[in-house]
């Protein structure tokens, strides 16, 4: 009810104890096209949907290599994402210059989160309008983090952000318990299935999605189009259902239900930052 009165400045609290500008920034993340991340003990897969603004233009880059052992997928204002990727790359280069070893992922996401927090407490700044899925491998294993515009960050086994990400999240919620011990190939396949959920029936081709992987003994890289198309063809030939699925419900039926939930506005009372 007071949303419009207290949302001019990021440094203005609402009577309910919320910063509306930060919440609006998180809305921007939901507007971007989907990005998905999953991890096993040894690998992290980041995938995204290539949405072009028109048929004439090319799609925006949403997955960036930060270092050999870290990659990031973004959703939201891609310009903000590009700037943050450049920051992350710089931090990695400076750390390995000084310490001759790769920057631990946990440290990088904290630095990123602190950087985002600064923008929520300066009247002359605005929050970054981008959500980042940071995947990395360090001495403590493979990790997947999600960095919010609010300055919060969380570690995930698997996550999806952006538009229609709820469909992917539903799929991931069903399968995530098996991810830790997944093989590299199964992890990529699950990423493709999750990505397909967000396409909502649209034909899945290698031109519409980008898949990237990093892992033990494998530097971060984006899979080329032919490899991705081959993987898509493989599971398209097998059948529409994802393999080894014990549940009765087919993924297509489940895709319909989350879509309705996606459309409903977030509850005005709850503060979405308190996840």
Partner 1 sequence: MPKQQANWSPYDNNGGTCVAIAGADYCVIAADTRMSTGYSILTRDYSKIIQLADKSVMASSGFQADVRALQKVLAARHLIYQHQHNKQMSCPAMAQLLSNTLYFKRFFPYYAFNVLGGLDSEGKGCVFTYDAVGSYERVGYSAQGSGATLITPFLDNQLKSPSPLLLPAKDAVTPLSEIEAIDLVKTCFASATERDIYTGDKVEMLVLNANGIRREVMELRKD
CB of 204 to partner 1, least distance (A): 26
- Nearer Cβ to partner 1, position 157 or 225? 225
Distance of CA 50 to the CA centre of its chain: 13
How many Cβ atoms are within 10 Å of 50's Cβ, its own excluded?
17
CB of 64 to partner 1, least distance (A): 8
Annotate 6-23 with DSSP letters as a single string.
S-S-TT---TTS--HHHH
CB of 136 to partner 1, least distance (A): 16
CB of 62 to partner 1, least distance (A): 15
> Burial code of 130-139, b = ≥16 C-beta within 10 A, e = fewer?
bbbbbbbbbe
- Nearer Cβ to partner 1, position 97 or 124? 97
- Nearer Cβ to partner 1, position 46 or 161? 46
- Closest CA relative to residue 273, chosen from 9, 20, 78: 20
Which position has the token pair 């419009």?
A: 4
User: With contact defined as beta carbons under 8 Å apart, do 242 and 231 qualify?
Assistant: no
Interface ranges with partner 1 (CB under 8 A): 65, 86, 89, 93-94, 97
CB of 194 to partner 1, least distance (A): 27
- Nearer Cβ to partner 1, position 188 or 222? 222
Distance of CA 230 to the CA centre of its chain: 24
Give, as one character, the DSSP assignment of residue 170: H
- Nearer Cβ to partner 1, position 31 or 94? 94
Query: Cβ neighbours of residue 148 under 8 Å, at least 6 residues apart?
Result: 26, 29, 116, 131, 273
């Amino acid at each position: 009810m007071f949303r419009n009165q207290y949302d001019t400045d990021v440094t203005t609290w609402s009577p309910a104890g919320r910063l509306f500008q930060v919440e609006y920034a998180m809305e921007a993340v939901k507007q971007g096209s989907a990005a998905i991340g999953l991890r096993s003990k040894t690998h992290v897969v980041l995938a995204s949907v290539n949405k072009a603004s028109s048929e004439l233009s090319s799609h925006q880059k949403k997955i960036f290599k930060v270092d050999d052992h870290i990659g990031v997928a973004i959703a939201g204002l891609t310009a903000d994402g590009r700037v943050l990727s450049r920051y992350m790359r710089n931090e990695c280069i400076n750390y390995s210059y000084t310490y001759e070893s790769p920057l631990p992922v946990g440290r990088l996401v904290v630095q990123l989160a602190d950087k985002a927090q600064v923008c929520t407490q300066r009247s002359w700044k605005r929050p970054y309008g981008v959500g980042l899925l940071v995947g990395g491998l360090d001495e403590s294993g493979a990790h997947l983090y999600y960095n919010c515009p609010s300055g919060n960050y969380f570690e995930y086994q698997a996550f999806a952000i952006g538009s229609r990400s709820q469909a992917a999240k539903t799929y991931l919620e069903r399968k995530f318990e098996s991810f830790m011990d997944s093989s590299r190939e199964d992890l990529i396949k699950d990423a493709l299935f999750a990505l397909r959920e967000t396409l909502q029936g649209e034909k899945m081709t290698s031109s519409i999605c980008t898949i990237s992987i990093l892992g033990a003994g494998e530097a971060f890289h984006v899979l080329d189009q032919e490899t991705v198309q081959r993987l898509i063809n493989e599971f398209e030939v097998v059948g529409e259902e994802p393999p080894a699925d014990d549940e009765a419900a087919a993924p297509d039926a489940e895709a319909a239900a989350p879509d309705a939930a996606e459309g409903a506005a977030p509850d005005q009372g709850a503060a979405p930052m308190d996840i």
